[in-house]
Chains A and B, each alone.
Chain A
Amino acid sequence: MNDNLKISSSEEIRRKLDRILPQVIKPGRYVGGEWNMIRKDWSKAGVRTVFVFPDVYEVGMSNLALRILYGLINSYDGFLCERAFSPWPDMEEKMKEAGLPLYALESFHPLREFDVVAFTLQYELSYTNILNILNLSGIPLRAENRISPDGEGKEYPLILAGGPCAYNPEPLAPFLDCVLLGEGEEQFPAMLEVIKNGKAAGKTKKEILLDLSSLQGVYIPQFYDVEYYPDGKIKQVITKEDVPRVINKAVVKDFDFAYFPEKVIVPYTEAVHDRVMLEVMRGCTRGCRFCQAGMIYRPLRERSPELLLEQAEKAVDATGYEEISLVSLSTSDYTCINGVLENLMAKMQERGVNVSLPSLRLDSFDVEIAQQVQKVRKSGLTFAPEAGTQRLRDVINKGVTDEDLFRTAYAAFKAGWSSIKLYYMIGLPTETYEDLDGIVEQARQVLAQAQKAGRRGARVTVSASSFVPKAFTPLQWVPQDSREVLQAKQEYLKERLKSKRIKFLYHDVEASYLEAVLARGDRKTADLLEWAVRAGCKFDSWSEYFNFDLWQQGLAQTGLDAHFYAHRQYQPEETLPWDHLSPGISKEFLLQEYKNALQGAVTPDCRRKCAKCGVCPTVAKPVLNRRR
């Protein structure tokens, strides 16, 4: 805890900032005031929430969940929602010198003054930033220590979390009061309503948490106890209060009625994704076995094309953005993609607005789409074959073939693109050096397509990330390759991808290793996190700040066996740290898919044949547009 935080009034913070800001990099990140920012009356709000993205402003402002929930919560009369991000280390230092606590960008109130501090868990390597933010706010890290002196002083805020990593929040369990599993559009306001009523009725924190636990998707870690076997595996999870034994995710059933943020905040300092994000659908039917998003966001729900066009127009009117991106897990799978693109571009061209697509799948990418997008702008193309051979692609159920890739690459080069980025993963189960050779061969073949299409000077970027097993995927039981093995594989590829026309990118194996520990970690890993933050670890997803030596010291100090989490084969019969949580997919399905993976048996796209994962129709029904 930081004892030097003396200043707390928002006026004082604002005044002090004017002296600090000229001395830090990109001060525009710390003052708010952007177009479409919502500044509500502090004194009139029944519940005051601050949505915290635990990374820098430019990254956080690109997040779709932030855009949706910020607009949504502020659309309610009794609620107020502000924003906060991790200050870059230069700013953190200046704030500490001046005794400034972390504040929200709308009203400059310190986080400590809010009723709810809601973190979004987007990637494991942001966990230290979460704890650092609590430190910078003068809020005790552990929930058990956040008890205000009896009758005196204000209660500490409730610390909430949601987002994809919430499906295994156990490494953060001791620090969080409440976790929301699944989609927040309906459930977040419902939670705030419960908090508002609880506050008004003068209920204690525990009573409010008990009330919250009756909402679907809400997990209160402190009401569950975990018992372990001597070997460290989980014996059982016991409920301490009258709460559900298994928490099922919250889900938006009709996506057309889901809140869409038209008036999103337009940053002045450029954000990573600085454009209108039009979410064409949620969920994915492909069933790639390594992909957590493909599992947890089921079922597939498409938005109607008419609604998308209307939303696009309104969003451009309200923001002035010069680009619209059609986002989803697999946008070219959207049933009416061609029609939507055509209509969008017809409407947007004269306003100087580009339309873009995020990474595309190879088998559904056709020349028509390529050329449509190209009419407006020729940004780089990204494809994700994920593995170098058909055998390994069958293992991970990535149903694309070499022919798909080469045909598409040819079409793209022919249509005018001159650079293609290929994403792969190394360290996948059953991988051999033959599969790595396959990556090299694919890269060469893609370049050969450029030659064939008459595109001289074409370039290919090969990016290889290291496989990290994730909760609620068929590969959740699989050990990660050791760092030595991963490094050797990287070296092997590096040697063979030496070419002026090929750029090879790969990730830090130490960071992937830590990511695996936290992705499959249980509550015992919380001690490591706490140690690391105290030692100064932060911004672990930024290579310039990731300090693996410090993490290793932390492992030695806390006695935590990291290999137990990263490199161990989890057993199908053992209780997993996340078994008391559920995205609706049955464990039987995941196990069956795991067996299929090891046999290289492909499971078809569930649009074609239901794979019986357990989500439909119990959790929600799939929503598909008719092809037109």
Chain B
Amino acid sequence: MKIRLAYTKKKEARYVAHLDLTRVFDRALRRAQINVHYSQGFNPHPKISFGPPLAVGVEGEREYVDIDVQELEGLSRKDLLAKIVEKLQGQLPEGICITDSAIRPKGSKALMAVINLARYKLILPGTLKLKADEVIKACERWLARNEVKVVRRHKGKESERNIRSLVNSIQILSADRQGIVLRLDIVTGNKGSVRPTEVLASIASLEGLNIDQDEVQIIREGLYVANPNGELIDPLKVNP
């Protein structure tokens, strides 16, 4: 039975690297005495898969994982799910909190295959002394550009990408003495993605804002399946 869980990744757990997450969940499941299915082959590994990686140090409010668990005789799937959530929660590290869960129908697609939008919250603290209207204007000017080319170096290779097409929208959620809170909707998944820090750096340099990135707090609010009409669907409810 394939289950999908929504969880937070906060506090110390935000320093758990994406590549280490499978191990963290595998061990928590074993401590919770929940049996999962393993892949076949020489080096069997547990069938646990995640959505798009979250950068180390960034908090996530609603992350997702799929787990292929073994069913138990005499227990309905619904009861089993409730039991798993309860037992697993007791074995997860501080900061990882299961907030929602669902049984996935047969033929459900992998999280990485369906999730195509990531929503980030950027908190620019008051100490940066930014003016809200200037930030709004800078964002508007940046969004008005047709393309924004950014060179990224990876393993010695340089690649140029247009990051403008990867940013769907930028909104201001609030602005007061505490600071300015921005919301970024960014394309993610198999078509590539861009880090919110890259977007912010690009806005700062192209539109003339002075932002010390070390001061900015970034939170990933959620991950969605955006359909062609622009509707955002929760991965827990998406079909298939």
Contacts and interface: CB of A to CB of B under 8 A. Distances in A.
Nearest to A267: B20
Interface stretch (B9-17, B78-86, B171-179, B230-238): B9-17
Nearest to B46: A352
Given A269-B17, A352-B44, A27 B28 contact: no
B12 A320 contact: no
A268 B16 contact: yes
Given A33-B11, A322-B30, 5 more contacts: A28-B15, A31-B12, A320-B26, A350-B35, A352-B36
Nearest to A269: B20
Interface of A: 19, 21-23, 26-28, 31-35, 266, 268-270, 316-322, 350-353, 377-378
B30 A316 contact: yes
Contact of B57 (A27, A32, A269, A377): A27
Contact of A352 (B17, B30, B31, B93): B30
B27 A266 contact: yes
Contacts of B42: 378
B17 A321 contact: no
A250 B50 CA distance: 50
11 contacts: A22-B56, A27-B57, A31-B12, A33-B95, A35-B91, A268-B93, A270-B20, A317-B33, A319-B27, A351-B30, A352-B36
B15 A27 contact: yes
Contacts of A351: 30, 35
Interface of B: 11-13, 15-17, 20, 23-24, 26-31, 33, 35-36, 38, 42-44, 46, 56-57, 91, 93-95, 214
B164 to A, nearest CB: 25
A270 B27 CA distance: 13
A27 B56 contact: yes
Contact of B17 (A23, A26, A35, A378): A26
A22 B26 contact: no
Contact of A320 (B11, B27, B35, B43): B27
A322 B26 contact: yes
Nearest to A26: B17
Contacts of B27: 35, 266, 319-322
Contacts of A350: 35
A317 B17 contact: no
B12 A33 contact: yes
B122 to A, nearest CB: 14
A316 B29 CA distance: 11
Contacts of B26: 320, 322, 352
A48 to B, nearest CB: 22
Nearest to B21: A268
A316 to B, nearest CB: 7
Contacts of B44: 352
A269 B18 CA distance: 10
A347 B46 CA distance: 18
A438 B135 CA distance: 74
Contact of B91 (A27, A316, A320, A352): A320
